[in-house]
Amino acid sequence: MSYDIYFLNRRDGQSWDEVLEGMEDAADESEPIPAHLLEAWDRIVPQAQTLLGEVEITEYEQESRDLSHSGTGIDLSVFGDEVSITVPYWHAGDDAAVALGQVSALAAIVEKETGLTAYDPQTERPLVETPPEASIELMSRITEDLRSRYGG
């Protein structure tokens, strides 16, 4: 389970639900990464390394790109024309604030380089409209719940 951020292209007049439905419909098709996203990836990686420190990069032909930070579990993925950030429910309290702060900073880099909008499906609004306290509280609550159920 993870806290997810999706990067979406929303046209004028289009609802977020419509954008998400379109993303789900397209998920069944395996397409190569578009050239503009590959170019953006090349600009994102050095900025992400500056933000997060040591990261692991995985590139699979023209199909996918992945950047993982082992300390936080933050993962940035590009698969076809889909871009997302995930962070596992490992963090609570101050740790959640730090991890989600890094997610927000990484999301801002991705938005700047891709022109896409970071969308938080947990709060059902763009990430910039999501109060950090709401994300931190949600991540902390779910992390603590999972720890109480499964020990950890």
Burial class of 126 by CB neighbour count within 10 A (0 to 12, 13 to 18, 19+): middle
Triad 11, 3, 44: Cα angle to 5°: 60
Q: How many CB atoms lie within 10 A of CB 30?
A: 9
Between the two ends of the chain, the Cα-to-Cα distance in Å is 14
Q: What is the mean pLDDT of the chain?
A: 90
pLDDT of 27: 59
pLDDT of 81: 85
Among 34, 14, 30, residue whose Cα is nearest residue 22: 14
Whole-model pTM: value is: 0.89
